[in-house]
Amino acid sequence: MESIENCIFPIEDTLEMILMFDGNGKISYANAAAMKELEYEGDLCGHHIHDVFPNSFSLDQDGFKTDVSFGGELINLVAYRKNQTCFPVEAKMLDNSNSFGQYICLANDILEKEFLCKEIEQVKQEAQQAMKVKSEFVANVTHELRTPVNGILGNVRDLLGSKLDSKVERYLRLIERCCGDMNKIINNILDFSKLEAGKFTLEPRKFQFRNMLDYVKSNHINKITEKGLGFFMTVSPQIPEYVIGDELRIVQVLGNLISNATKFTSVGKISVEAVRTARVNDKIELFFMVKDTGIGIDGADKDKLFQSFSQVDASISRKYGGTGLGLNICKQLVELMGGRIEVESEKNKGSTFSFSIWVGLSEEEAQLPAQEFVEMPMMGTSSEEEDVEDIRQYGTPENKKSLKNNLSKLILCVEMENWEKAEMFMETVRTLTVGAPREVGRVVLRLKMAIQKENYDKVINEFTELNQFLEA
């Protein structure tokens, strides 16, 4: 028979106490941890298992007697040291008498474990407290910074109201811009600490959706056109005039994405789209996309983007500046509004940031019957946008799957400048309606054929028929 001691050599140094005893209860092996915990200093072998667990094992002429199970489950025992003091252990007993002629006991000091757990808990609490103090400090300092920055800004604006020579005016404009930038950073840090501390609350109110988008556009259009970039905004007519939500925070998320798009794009265009994707009772889901033709983001860096203080790499922060807080704040705000934010991007080609949020319907809107369909985004092009080849893909694969499953009505409003574009557009519609109900498919096919024949009257007829079908 192979000696068990040869097999257990690697366990000599484990923190767990290991004892082996034979059928007579005589201990034949004790590892270093057992020797230390039980304070036997090397002479534990030869003792009886009853010496270590007197409450659970008794001496017997034929060996030992015990009620303890040898099935390997965890049991609580009391272990006695050589000096007869004791401590609780969590132990496992194994019966290896058939193969090795030995029984094995593996035991851990529970007091030590509990002590360690308490110590870990204490360290955790101290770390949380330190984080809280740090966050409060950052929040206080940032708050205090606001006063002097606004003081400078106020004075600069007063001076700008007076007659100045052009050089002084240029300097003052620069100071004004710097103060504006500083205010943005201060506000970001304040928002971030509030969100982290769980003290952030949304303030939903009824507001005019399209006015909000106009405001966002007016905030950015100068910078975008200064850089020579194109700007396009498309809003689905399915979005009602009034919605109920935290307008300020929606502006903040959109503003941040458009600022980033502007910052990281030197040629091309930025487009913003807003569509309504679902309705449940008096709430609707809005889906936004901010697309640019800028530097793009490497696939490997995408996961880092929404973490706090994260920028893609140091060279980007040196060149473009920023705190790396913007997208993290956007993510937290979007999640507070019941949605999620995502990015699709290709290095050197551009990025598309998209997010969804839920907003309330105004009382009048909510009374209109809820349509049981997921609405298709408007496929008509913005009159300024030329990129017809670009078939828009809305949202995540789940989003697309849900669109496909739930689509029962398709509302189209199309204006095209030439037949070629109309045909390409119809092809896109046809692809997107592959999974739609047969009636929709039939009308779409007829519309497609009519467009291909360049028959204006027929197209109008088919279109009227499609409208009638949808109104029925």
Q: State how beta strands 230-235 and 269-280 pair.
A: parallel
Kindly identify the residues of this chain, within the stretch 197-256, that bind ligand ADP according to CB under 6 A.
Answer: 256
**Using alpha carbons only, how large is the chain's radius of gyration in Å?**
36
Q: Please pick, from the candidates 195, 216, 224, 297, the single residue that binds ligand ADP as defined by CB under 6 A.
A: 297
- C-beta closer to ligand ADP: residue 47 or 263: 263
Q: What is the C-alpha separation between 140 and 147, in angstroms, rounded?
A: 12
Q: Residue 251: name the closest of 279, 288, 277, 285 by CA.
A: 288
Q: Residue 436: name the closest of 469, 409, 402 by CA.
A: 409
Query: Per-residue x/- marks for ligand ADP, 342-361, CB under 6 A?
Result: ---------x----------
268 lies in the site for ligand ADP, by CB under 6 A: no
Token pair 């078939």 is found at 391
381 lies in the site for ligand ADP, by CB under 6 A: no
Q: What is the C-alpha separation between 247 and 268, in angstroms, rounded?
A: 29
339 lies in the site for ligand ADP, by CB under 6 A: no
327 lies in the site for ligand ADP, by CB under 6 A: yes
Encoded amino acid at 205, one letter: R
Q: Please pick, from the candidates 191, 292, 342, 375, the single residue that binds ligand ADP as defined by CB under 6 A.
A: 292
Say if CB 415 and CB 437 are below 8 A apart.
no
Q: Please pick, from the candidates 58, 187, 208, 323, the single residue that binds ligand ADP as defined by CB under 6 A.
A: 323
Q: What is the C-alpha separation between 361 and 348, in angstroms, rounded?
A: 40
Q: Which stretch binds ligand ADP (CB under 6 A): 57-65, 317-325, 374-382, 397-405?
A: 317-325
Residues 6+ apart with CB under 8 A from 72: 92, 93, 94
187 lies in the site for ligand ADP, by CB under 6 A: no
Residue 59, Cβ neighbours under 10 Å: how many?
A: 14
CB of 351 to ligand ADP, least distance (A): 4
Task: DSSP letter for 100, please.
Answer: T
CB of 272 to ligand ADP, least distance (A): 12
Q: What is the C-alpha separation between 238 and 371, in angstroms, rounded?
A: 11
Q: Which stretch binds ligand ADP (CB under 6 A): 89-97, 287-295, 367-375, 448-456?
A: 287-295
Q: Please pick, from the candidates 240, 294, 360, 395, the single residue that binds ligand ADP as defined by CB under 6 A.
A: 294
Q: Which stretch binds ligand ADP (CB under 6 A): 39-47, 114-122, 304-312, 382-390?
A: 304-312
Instruction: Return residues touching ligand ADP (CB under 6 A).
Output: 256, 260-261, 264, 292, 294-295, 297, 305, 311-312, 316, 322-328, 351
